[in-house]
A and B are shown apart, each in its own frame.
Chain A
């Protein structure tokens, strides 16, 4: 029974997932093509033999793609929850002898799987790449921005999840999740420019502090969004 539900939920979320997935790969693919194009014109040897700089640029594009794909993540959550309500198929599902917890568990598993795949790809790529490409051999120089991106990814997913459990439209819930997540990002940037206690932080620690605050905010979004959205869907009087 659970596998049937998973298959159905995977099909519901498939278009949004492919959008997310292609956003991860489109920027590095464009980078590869541009690099190849420039190597042909510069007559710089075989196309597949990249310089260190080319390699670093591609990794950065790839991680940029991962960040961009986060923008499509609320659509995955919305397609699993809000689409069912818009198409009224939630009424069909709720009339069948299946417990609501099982229905939600299937959606949760599919959502987490779809959030996890681009994340796993990004972390694997970052781990396999040269950790010194930021000009510094310290691993955190690569992994701290990646951690912020991952927190953003799950934070925006959590927002999408809770908003899709309240709003009946995929577009509206995705857009609202995007606006909230981006507002939080720029709010933190602005806070560092305006709030005196944050402005007084030593210049060398500003980026680290900002990243930690962003990670905390997005983790909060992820946890409250996923828990709140699941509770709302479980407890609401009408599915």
Chain B
């Protein structure tokens, strides 16, 4: 694997098998330095398995993970020292008090900053005397963020951190993540089901489907190059014919005579050729939200596979 200076996280052929089930299949993830990377996929797509491999919680069946210039398998301690990890729910010792877990981290993480920890403790309004098991979900998520940030890591990895949080707590949490990425130059990889938040926060995206990366690139590129076309063909036209007209059609939906297409790598010329080939006098082009783009691309993958 080459030492790509621009990448914070790089995986090559990363795979993980659980018995006969291939949960992650030859993943080549490339997270640029300083990016806020949204890692998106349906339940069971392999997001958490991938993240667990990225932070060394799970050994890959094949492939490798590189954190900046350090190969994770070769020097896990040095690689983990660059990463702050926020799990889907707090995993710090539930029987400890907040101040005890902070003291523990101070004792075991050489780059831990007590000043930063106490600053974040005040900022997130966490009572240091509370037992971790008694914290609310929102406060628990903030504590996980604090524990991940207080050693000032270059990379922050968040695995569905807002799962189960109410909308206000979720907003607050995302605000804090964004602020943390602005406070110091930091790469953030975040997986979340909340695509609205992902669209708002991220500048790069990776779509995972059935353990495979089906899209990777800049959020703006995806949203500007993926459009929804609405055609009204004068004579019936089947899906196969449409797909032959353009291989970039990722999803087709029908409502009466109207056909709605999701077109990737959109260009006005490609849209015009579709319109003329389908003899459609009515022709609408609409932008897609990330939510719609993701759904259409995944549905398109499922149609293609079936």
Contact = CB atoms under 8 A, between A and B. Distances in A.
B57 A91 contact: yes
Interface string B168-179: 000000000000
Interface string A93-118: 01111111000000000000000000
Contacts of A97: 77-78, 80-81, 109-110
Interface of A: 1, 3-5, 7-8, 11, 87-89, 91-92, 94-100, 237-239
Interface of B: 52, 55-59, 76-78, 80-81, 83, 85, 87, 89, 91-95, 103-105, 107-110, 147
Given A94-B56, A94-B57, A99-B76, A89 B91 contact: yes
Contacts of B80: 95-97
Given A8-B104, A87-B94, A88-B91, A95 B109 contact: no
Nearest to B78: A97
B92 A99 contact: no
A79 to B, nearest CB: 11
Contacts of B87: 91-92, 95
Contacts of B56: 94-95
Contacts, number: 65
A96 B105 contact: yes
Nearest to A5: B108
Contacts of B107: 1, 3-5, 7
22 contacts: A1-B107, A1-B110, A3-B107, A5-B107, A5-B108, A8-B93, A87-B94, A88-B91, A89-B91, A89-B92, A92-B92, A95-B56, A95-B80, A96-B80, A96-B105, A96-B108, A96-B109, A97-B110, A99-B76, A99-B77, A237-B58, A238-B59
Nearest to B133: A87
- Which 10 residue pairs spanning A and B have beta carbons closest together? A4-B107, A237-B59, A97-B81, A92-B91, A97-B80, A95-B85, A91-B91, A88-B91, A238-B58, A97-B77
